[in-house]
Structure 1
C-alpha cells in the first residue's frame, strides 16, 4: 500500500471531501471498515496563491506549492496530489521542483472523458481555469471540443466560487442562475457534458440538475488516487 500526500487548502471544502472520500473509497475497495489508508496533508493558503496568480508571479506560485509537496515527500508520502484544479496551471513547473510524483487532475479527467467517448464539453471553473489553456488544450488535442462561458459569465462564476463555494456557502439564487446559463450553452452548442472544473462546484451542481453528464473531476481524481494507494 502506498502513502498519499495531499496538498490541501485549495480550498478547505475540497480538502475535507478528498480526505473523507479517499478513506471511504479505500475501505470500499478492500471491503473493510476496519482499515485506513496512510495520508498526510499540508494545507496551503488558497487566497495567497490566487493573489500571486493575479499578479502573474508564476515562479512564486510554483515554489509555494512545490514547498508543500516537498514537505509531504519528507513525511514519507509515495505520491501526492493537489486537491484543486487551479494550481494545475503550473503542474509541470511544480513537478519539476519536487521529487514527489504528483497525480494530475487533468490527466485523470481526460482518461475518463476518452473512455466515455465524450466530444463536446462545457468547462466551468475559476477564471484561471477558464482563461488559460492548461486544462482545455489536452482535451482539444484528444479531439474533444471545449466550450467556455462568455467573458462576463466567467467573471461571475469565479466570483461565486471564491466568495461563496470556497466558504461552503451554497446560495439557491446562484444555483438557479448557474443552471440557467449552463442549459443555454447546452442548447446552443449541442453539448454532451459539463466539466465541473473546480473541486467546489459539485457542492452546487448535482448530477440530476442537468440533462447531460456532469463531469466531476474531483471524484475522478479521488478514484484514481485510491487505485494508486492500493498499487503494490
Structure 2
C-alpha cells in the first residue's frame, strides 16, 4: 500500500529536480510596453495529461518572472493513439509525417521554435529535425547536464518499452544508464502506456513503477531514476516513491521556458492595456 506523501515529504518537491525559481511563484507586474518573447509551439495531446503538465508549469514559470516580456505560446493537438501505434510498430516515417504537419501548422501560427511534449515522441526526433520548418527544443539535450549538476553518474530509466529498450539516452557521455531487467521492463511499459492513455494511475500501476525504480537503485546501483515518460508525474505526484528521481519533463519545460524568454525575431509590440 502506497501512502500519500505529507506536504513536506513529497517526492516531487523533495528528491526530484524541479524547475527554477525555488522561491514561491510571484505574479509579475505587467508594464504598458512589453518586449515580445520568442513564440513557442507545443505538439500536445500525447497524452493530454502531459500536455496540461507542460502548459501549467510554463505558465507558472512565466508568472514568476520579473522580466518585461510576454510568453507567446501555441499548442497543436496530436493523437496519442497514433503515437502509441507508431511507437509499437517502430514506424518512424509515419510519425514524422504526422509531426511534420503539426510543425507546419505551428509555424503558420507564428511559432519560431517547437517542442514535442512527450519523451516517447522523441523516438523520431532526429528525423523530425530534418523536415521541421522551425527549430526543435530537444528534451534530451540538457538532461545529462542536469544529472551531472546533481552528482548523478549512474541512473535508472522508467518509461515506455521503446524508450527503455532503444536507449534514447545512448547520447549520454558521462552518465551510465540502467533499465528494469527481464519481465519487469514489460510490466513498467504496460503500466505506463495505460497511464498515458487514461491520464490517471491506479494503485497497481503505481506500485509496479515504484518497485522497478527501487530495484534499479537497490540492486543495479542507480543513484537516481530518470522519469522518461512525460505522463509518469501522474503516478508520482503526492506519493512517496522510495527513491530519488529526476523528472525529464521538468528539465525539458525549463529549457522551453528559457528559450521562450529569448527576444522574438518579430519587433517588440505594444501590449494590451
TM over 0.5: yes
Q: Equivalents in 1 of 2:214, 2:145: separation in Å?
A: 25
Q: Is the 8 A contact 1:207 1:213 kept in 2?
A: no
Which residue of the partner structure matches residue 25 of structure 2?
none
Structure 1 residue 207: Cα displacement: 8.1
Which residue of the partner structure matches residue 218 of structure 1?
249
Structure 1 residues 113-138: Cα deviation after superposition (integer angstroms, max 9, x where no partner)? 122231110001011101112x2201
Q: Equivalents in 2 of 1:27, 1:206: separation in Å?
A: 22
Q: Does 1:80 align with 2:114?
A: yes
SS in 2 for 1:149: coil
Q: Does 1:37 align with 2:37?
A: no
Q: Equivalents in 1 of 2:178, 2:261: separation in Å?
A: 36
Structure 1 residue 42: Cα displacement: 0.8
Which residue of the partner structure matches residue 180 of structure 2?
149
Q: Is the 8 A contact 1:123 1:194 kept in 2?
A: yes
Q: Is the 8 A contact 2:225 2:243 kept in 1?
A: yes
Structure 1 residue 55: Cα displacement: 2.5
Q: Is the 8 A contact 1:5 1:41 kept in 2?
A: yes
Q: Is the 8 A contact 1:66 1:95 kept in 2?
A: no
Which residue of the partner structure matches residue 205 of structure 1?
236
SS in 1 for 2:65: helix
- For 1:21, which of 38, 42, 57 is the aligned residue? 57
Q: Equivalents in 1 of 2:260, 2:195: separation in Å?
A: 32
- For 1:59, which of 93, 98, 106 is the aligned residue? 93
Structure 1 residues 135-174: Cα deviation after superposition (integer angstroms, max 9, x where no partner)? 22012xx121100002412221121122234312221232
Q: CA RMSD in A?
A: 1.9
Q: Is the 8 A contact 1:5 1:77 kept in 2?
A: yes
Q: Specify the structure having the higher radius of gyration (Cα).
A: 2
SS in 1 for 2:76: strand
Alignment coverage as a number of residue pairs: 227
TM-score, normalised with respect to structure 2: 0.78
Call closer, same or farther: CA 1:176–1:57 in 2, change over 3 Å: closer
Q: Equivalents in 1 of 2:253, 2:216: separation in Å?
A: 28
For residues 134-173 of structure 1, the aligned pairs below 5 Å read 135-139=168-172, 142-173=173-204
Call closer, same or farther: CA 1:210–1:52 in 2, change over 3 Å: closer
Structure 1 residues 151-203: Cα deviation after superposition (integer angstroms, max 9, x where no partner)? 41222112112223431222123222322232122111222110000001111
Which residue of the partner structure matches residue 215 of structure 2?
184
Q: Is the 8 A contact 2:44 2:116 kept in 1?
A: yes
TM-score, normalised with respect to structure 1: 0.90
For residues 128-139 of structure 1, the aligned pairs below 5 Å read 128-133=162-167, 135-139=168-172
Q: RCO higher in 1 or 2 (8 Å CA, sep ≥ 6)?
A: 2
**Any unmatched runs of 5+ in structure 2?**
1-36, 264-273
**Any unmatched runs of 5+ in structure 1?**
none
Q: Is the 8 A contact 1:166 1:200 kept in 2?
A: no
